[in-house]
Structure 1
C-alpha cells in the first residue's frame, strides 16, 4: 500500500505499508519469523494502514488539505472520522449501494437511486484534469448530505458522458468549497495509478524478488526515492514551447542514463534525439486532444 502526494507541479509516493493478510500471514507465526516481520506488527486492515500513513504525514508537517481514495477507504468510518478530526477534507469513493442522509437527515436513500432522481439540467460538465488522450471530461452532480447546521458534507456523483457509468464520492470539508474543487480532488485519485505505472517503468518499483520484511522495505524505499528525484527534476524544468513537449520523468531518466550511467555519446547527439522525441510526442498529444474534442 502506498500514500501518494499530488500537487499541480508533480506527484510522488511518500509512504508505504506492507499489507499482511490475516489468515495466510498473521496467523502463521513461523512464517512471520522466517520473513523477519517484527513482533509488534499485527494484522491491520487497509484503511487502518492508510490512517497510519496519513497520521505520519500530518505529524511530519507535510502540507496538504485533502485526501482521496477508492471504495475500500470510503467505506471506513474510522478513516473519515480521523480526517474530520484533523480538519482534512476528503472525497472518498463509495459503492452504489451506499445510503446517505438527505432532507436534513430525515431520509436515508441509496446513492444510485438518488442519482436517478437528478434532473438532466442539474448535471454540470467539468474536467478532472488532462489524461493521456485529452481532457478527462465528465458530468457531475452534488447533493448536500449535512445533518447539522454549518456542516459541509456532500455526495458527489460522476457520470461518464458516453457510457453513463456512475461513480460516487462521500465528501467533507471544514469550510464551504465550490463544485470544481471537489471534482479536482476526486479526479486526482487517478494519480496513484499513474505513479504505479511510472514507478514500475522508470524506477523499477516492481523489479524485486525479496522474501523478507527488511529487504522489501529497503528496495521499495530506494525505488520511491528514485521516483521522487526524477519528479523533482521534472518539476524544476522551465515551461516548454508549444511545438515540443516538456521534459518528462521518462525523458529525464533517459538523459541521466545517457550522460551519467553509460558511455556517453556527444551531448549534441543525445539532446538532438531528446528534442525529436518530445516534438513527436507534442504532435501526438495535439492529435489526441483534437480527436477527443471533435466527438
Structure 2
C-alpha cells in the first residue's frame, strides 16, 4: 500500500513520530492506511469508500481503529502540535480560535442539535466543533478540533453514555472554556505563536478575554457593537456612605457610539489575487467595561486595550478589542485582526478535500479520532507544500493523477506590515 496516493515513502517518513507515539503494532498498521484513505482519490471519505479505494475487502478494521475507545489518542494530538510548531510556529505565527459546524440528519450523532451552522448560514441540525489553527506565513495547520456539547446533551447523561461521551466531558462548558482548555494543551506541547485571534462569538465573553490575558497572551478578538467601554482616563471615586464599591467618574458607552464620529482611515492589510484588500479603520485606547459589577449591572473599568472599528465596503461595521501594545499602528492592528481569515480556508479544505464532514459514525471517540486524522492529513500536505513537493492541481478537485488531496495557495503575498502586527 506504500504507493497509494502517489505519496510513497515520504508519508511513511513523516509519520514516524506519530507511529512511535502509537506503540501498538496493529494501530501502527491502520493509522497510515486511514491517512492514505483520506488523502486518496475517493470523493467520499467515509469508511466504505476509503476501504474500497485502499483495496480492502471490508471496512470493519478501519471502523475498529477509528472508533475503539480502548486506546488514547492524546499522544497523537501532542505530536501533531509539535509537527505544526515545526512547520509554521514562531513569534510571528498566529493562533486562530473559531468553530466549524458539520450538518447532520437525525438525532443520534454525538452532540448534534439545532444550533447555528456557519456552513449553511442559519440555525440547523449540526455538530459544532471548536477549532484551533496555527498559521504562519499565511499557511494554516489545524491543531485542535473539540466537540461542543449543547445543554440538551449535558443534561441527558443516558444520551451521552449511548454516544460514548466520557464521564469527565459530560459537563456544561462554553465554547470559550473549551478553547482555553485546548490552548493550555498547546502551550504545554511547546507550540509558539504571537497573537491569539477570535471572532465575536468568543470575544464577547469577558471571561474568555481575561483567560487569554491570564495566560500572558496577546490577542485581538471581535466584539458586539454594544460592548461597554470607558475613556482611557476614567478614574474611580472611593465609596462613601452606604456604597460598598468605588464608582467610575463617568458612564460607560457602547463601542459603536464611541467610534462613530471619529475619522476613519482607509487601510490595506494584504494584497490578494484580485488586488489589495482594503477597508476603513479607526482605533483608540479605552478601558473595557468588564470589571466587577458596581450598579445596575454596570461593570467597573478593566484593562486598557485597543478598541478598533472596521467599516467594510458593504457598509457593515465590525468592532474589535486587542491588547497589542499602545504604540501599535492602525495598519498593524488591521493586519493582525484580518489574519483570522486563514482558518476559514483550513475549515473548507478539511471538510471538502479531506473528509472531515464525511464521517458517518455516531460516537464521541470516532468523531474526534476522525477529526484528528484529517488534521494529520492536512499537516502532511502542508509539509509537502513547504518542502516544495506540492503536486499540481487539476481544477478544484484533488489531483486525480497523483491521487492526493492538495492545499490551496495563499490568497496573495503577505502584507509588508503583517510582521509588525505580530511582533
TM range (shorter): 0.7 to 0.9
Q: TM-score scaled by structure 1?
A: 0.76
CA distance in 2, matches of 1:252, 1:62: 32
Between stretches 167-176 and 203-212, larger displacement belongs to 167-176
Q: Does 1:184 align with 2:335?
A: yes
Runs of 5+ consecutive residues of structure 1 not aligned to the other structure: 239-245, 262-273, 286-295
CA distance in 2, matches of 1:259, 1:202: 14
Task: Give the structure 2 partner of residue 170 of structure 1.
Answer: 321
Q: Compare the two structures and name the one with the higher helix fraction.
A: 1
CA distance in 2, matches of 1:204, 1:176: 44
Aligned residues: 249
Q: 1:252 to 1:228 in 2, by over 3 A?
A: farther
**1:10 offset after TM fit, Å?**
0.7
Between stretches 97-106 and 173-182, larger displacement belongs to 173-182
Task: Give the structure 2 partner of residue 270 of structure 1.
Answer: none
Equivalent of 1:259 in 402, 413, 418? 402
* Conservation of the 8 A alpha-carbon contact between 1:84 and 1:174: no
Relative contact order (alpha carbons < 8 A, sep ≥ 6): 1 or 2 greater? 2
CA distance in 1, matches of 2:315, 2:397: 39
| Superimposed CA distance per residue, residues 87-125 of structure 1 (whole angstroms, 9 cap, x where no aligned partner) | 211111001111111141345211111222113xxx222
Alignment of 1:1-295 (within 5 A): 1-22=130-151, 24-41=152-169, 42-105=171-234, 106-119=250-263, 123-131=264-272, 133-146=274-287, 153-160=305-312, 162-173=313-324, 176-237=327-388, 254-255=398-399, 258-259=401-402
* Conservation of the 8 A alpha-carbon contact between 1:87 and 1:173: no
**1:252 offset after TM fit, Å?**
11
Kindly report the root-mean-square deviation, in angstroms, between the aligned alpha carbons of the 2 structures.
2.9
CA distance in 2, matches of 1:93, 1:18: 22
**1:174 offset after TM fit, Å?**
5.8
**1:221 offset after TM fit, Å?**
0.6
**1:152 offset after TM fit, Å?**
5.6
CA distance in 1, matches of 2:149, 2:182: 16
Q: TM-score scaled by structure 2?
A: 0.54
Classify the secondary structure of the residue corresponding to 2:266.
strand
Q: 1:252 to 1:234 in 2, by over 3 A?
A: farther
| Superimposed CA distance per residue, residues 130-182 of structure 1 (whole angstroms, 9 cap, x where no aligned partner) | 446433211111111148xxx7611011111x333210001113674222222
Runs of 5+ consecutive residues of structure 2 not aligned to the other structure: 1-129, 235-249, 289-302, 413-423
